């Protein structure tokens, strides 16, 4: 086996298609060990489930993010975990969009939502930031609100006076983490429909 065949096999094992991506899949979160498994990292958790399911890895550093390439629902996709910290997520997404000339409607963002119960999914074609700083950044940097998204419920604060930052940066309890892991798998299934233009079906099947 020559070196070119070995490189081809390595790329296949990594899920790299060798073609320009048609979609960008973005899981939001904060980098660093201290934030692993936090509520705010529900997007990263979902990307981890996607990596395991499809056998690829976001192990390259590009566009201010950890990125990987794979095929989802027959479509070539760039999968991203921004390393900019949540409030600057749009910087990473904008770089990737501009590099590959990907339209906003082909960017699917996965993130946490405190207004939903732990494990609930909510898929939308577009929408406002709803107070989420990562989404605010993407809207500001990338051209508006017209990108589809998958929200993973992480639960509301235990009481109104509880510090929001402390809540979203806190860890899941055991039962809630099980619900999140199950929701992440459903989100992976929903992605397959969404990239095939079946977002309405994904909403009717997975919104809860």
Please tell me the distance from the alpha carbon of residue 16 to that of residue 56, in angstroms, as a whole number: 8
Joined together, the tokens standing for residue 9 give 């096999």
pLDDT in tens, 172-184: 999 999 999 999 9
Residue 12 lies in a domain: no
Q: Does residue 2 fall inside a structural domain?
A: no
The number of CA neighbours under 13 Å toward the Cβ of 62 is: 14
Instruction: Report pLDDT for 2.
Output: 55
> Among all chains, which residue has been given the structure tokens 């690829």?
56
CB 84 within 8 A of CB 64: yes
What is the rounded average pLDDT of the residues 187-199?
96
Q: Which of 40, 81, 132, 149 is catalytic?
A: 40
pLDDT in tens, 47-105: 999 999 999 999 999 999 999 999 999 999 999 999 999 999 999 999 999 999 999 99
pTM: 0.89
How would residue 1 be classed by pLDDT, with cut points 50, 70 and 90?
Answer: low
Residue 11 lies in a domain: no
Asked about 61 being catalytic, the answer comes back as: no
Per the domain annotation, does 8 fall within a domain? no
- Residue 10, domain member (yes or no): no
Domain containing 143 equals 19-206
Q: Which helix (H) or strand (E) holds 19?
A: none
How far is 80 from 96, CA to CA, in rounded Å?
9
Domain assignment of residue 4, yes or no? no
The CATH number of the domain holding residue 105 is 3.40.50.1470
Does residue 78 belong to any structural domain of this protein?
yes
Domain tally for the chain?
Answer: 1
Tokens of 3: 């070196």
């Amino acid at each position: 086996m020559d070196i070119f065949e070995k490189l081809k096999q390595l790329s296949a094992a990594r899920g790299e298609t060798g073609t320009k991506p048609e979609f960008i899949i973005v899981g939001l979160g904060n980098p660093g060990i201290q934030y692993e498994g936090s509520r705010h990292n529900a997007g990263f958790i979902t990307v981890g489930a996607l990596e395991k399911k499809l056998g690829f890895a976001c192990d390259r550093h590009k566009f201010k993010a950890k990125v990987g390439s794979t095929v989802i629902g027959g479509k070539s996709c760039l999968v991203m975990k921004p390393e900019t910290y949540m409030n600057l997520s749009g910087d990473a997404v904008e770089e990737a969009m501009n590099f590959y000339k990907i339209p906003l409607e082909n960017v699917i963002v996965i993130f946490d939502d405190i207004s939903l119960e732990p494990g609930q999914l909510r898929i939308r074609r577009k929408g406002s930031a709803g107070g989420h700083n990562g989404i605010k950044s993407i809207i500001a940097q990338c051209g508006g609100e017209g990108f589809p998204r998958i929200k993973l419920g992480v639960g509301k604060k235990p009481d109104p006076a509880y510090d929001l930052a402390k809540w979203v940066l806190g860890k899941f309890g055991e039962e809630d983490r099980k619900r999140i892991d199950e929701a992440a798998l459903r989100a992976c299934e929903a992605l397959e429909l969404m990239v095939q233009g079946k977002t309405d079906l994904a909403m009717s099947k997975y919104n809860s």
